[in-house]
Structure 1
């Protein structure tokens, strides 16, 4: 009986009431990625560990949380650490996650230990909560594969999208948007890397589809605001539609992810609303929005309250390790 009480207490401790934004209040989180699976929404975040005197980003792992109602979030800990990529040196930056053929894939940018600059790795798991393991033992993309810009951090912010015909794409970049097809095994590029010219593109490309239209959202200008374009396919051509979220006050980044869950639409992003927050101590938040009749996304204000409860009747039990 005592053991059962201990287990119950541990479960309760891992579940915290949403109670408005930010989603996570007991640590600094950034760069949200979202996956809806079996009636549950999984939120993957970066983990800011910098102090007020560190002076730069300090990120060593990724975190994962899940919810059945957009209100109560279960903390599943860290499904993937920087050290899980043996070829990586530092900087567990913004990742993205997808599911294919019963497996879960994280695409994660890190600073490479031997190839100067950032690289993108891919890790795989049988469960959305991990643990994830390096799927290749080497980087999928390295800085010497991309020569479009003379900076070492242009291979960051990967976003993965699987089209209706099963073709998977990887998007990424800083100052220049890049994309490539992925092979069905999800751990190899399938063909050349393409670039896409975009007005004032900075980083954080994210592709989703709604009502037959493809939406490419991204961080525009610096300090960043969230803007988006629409197109008839996963590769465009793209039409600029406008800014949908203003820049933050105390951090220059914002980094969005857009998802439908239980009949409603949401945008995740980060700001600095947790006490002590700042440029490299950020916090993930979420807002509900509705598409206009013509399919456009309205301007979305950041709020303290966040979305209303949206319980999922088909919410599956948490898949644990």
Structure 2
């Protein structure tokens, strides 16, 4: 049987900008910001996940809320927005959700045993002494993460809004994922 996939492939009520598609196992997962219908700002909702079998991209499944804004210790009241996340599977087999919170320049990480969550707060991207990265003079402003786990298990964190004088990446070894 020949099936047609339509665009948009998610329901019309769902707003997932900055989508990051990843194949884990036999499913394609979509992670992204989560806008609210008629919201006054962007990225106002908790993170959700959608997935589909890689052999049938017409059968999308709502995986539910995978991480709530209030799980971040800096956002206990849920007033701040979470921007474009990225997900990577670590060498330990767990899944790491990297995100930036509001316009603070702070990057946070949540972890789960499965790609579709539930994710739990893990840590902030930090210097080896534990101070949050971007809190020191000269540190770049962290925003919109892009994560690469290399074949040797090294984790590379790329991000937007770096200083215009250079392209910045940061190898974060604290997580050892």
**Aligned length in residues:** 160
Deviation string, structure 1 residues 118-140 (Cα, Å, up to 9, x no partner)? 3110000111111100112x454
Q: Does the alignment pair 1:109 with 2:96?
A: no
Q: CA deviation at 1:99?
A: 0.8
The CA deviation at 1:185 is 3.1
CA distance in 2, matches of 1:146, 1:162: 28
Per the alignment, residue 89 of structure 2 pairs with 99
What is the SS of the residue equivalent to 1:48?
A: coil
Are 1:66 and 2:51 an aligned pair?
A: yes
Larger radius of gyration: 1
Identify if the C-alpha distance between structure 1 residues 37 and 58 changes in structure 2 by more than 3 Å, giving closer, same or farther. closer
The alignment status of 1:185 with 2:170, answered yes or no, reads no
CA deviation after TM superposition for structure 1 residue 145, in Å: 3.7
Distance in 1 between residues matched to 2:4 and 2:36, nearest whole Å: 22
| Larger RCO: 1 or 2 (CA < 8 Å, sep 6+) | 1
Which whole-Å CA distance do the structure 2 matches of 1:146 and 1:42 have between them? Answer: 37
Structure 1 stretches lacking a partner, 5+ long: 1-16, 188-321
Q: Which runs of 5+ in 2 are unaligned?
A: 127-131
Q: 1:144 to 1:90 in 2, by over 3 A?
A: same
Shift in alpha-carbon separation, 1:139–1:162, aligned structure 2, 3 A:
closer
Alignment of 1:19-168 (within 5 A): 19-25=5-11, 26-49=13-36, 51=38, 54=40, 56-68=41-53, 69-88=56-75, 90-100=80-90, 101-111=92-102, 117-136=104-123, 138=124, 140=126, 141-145=132-136, 147=138, 154-168=141-155
Return the offset for 1:175. 5.0
Q: 1:129 to 1:135 in 2, by over 3 A?
A: same
SS in structure 2 of the partner of residue 87 of structure 1: helix
1:161 & 1:73 partners in 2: Cα distance? 26
With the length of structure 1 as denominator, give the TM-score of the two structures.
Answer: 0.45
Cα displacement string for residues 229-277 of structure 1 (whole angstroms, at most 9, x for unaligned residues) = xxxxxxxxxxxxxxxxxxxxxxxxxxxxxxxxxxxxxxxxxxxxxxxxx
Root mean square deviation of aligned Cα? 2.5
Q: Distance in 2 between matches of 1:18 and 1:72?
A: 11
Change over 3 Å in CA distance of 1:169–1:42 after alignment to 2: same
Whole-Å Cα distance in 2 between the matches of residues 157 and 146 of structure 1?
Answer: 20
Shift of 1:172: 0.5
CA 1:148–1:32: 2 relative to 1, 3 Å:
same
Structure 2 length normalisation: TM-score?
A: 0.78
Q: More strand by proportion, 1 or 2? A: 1
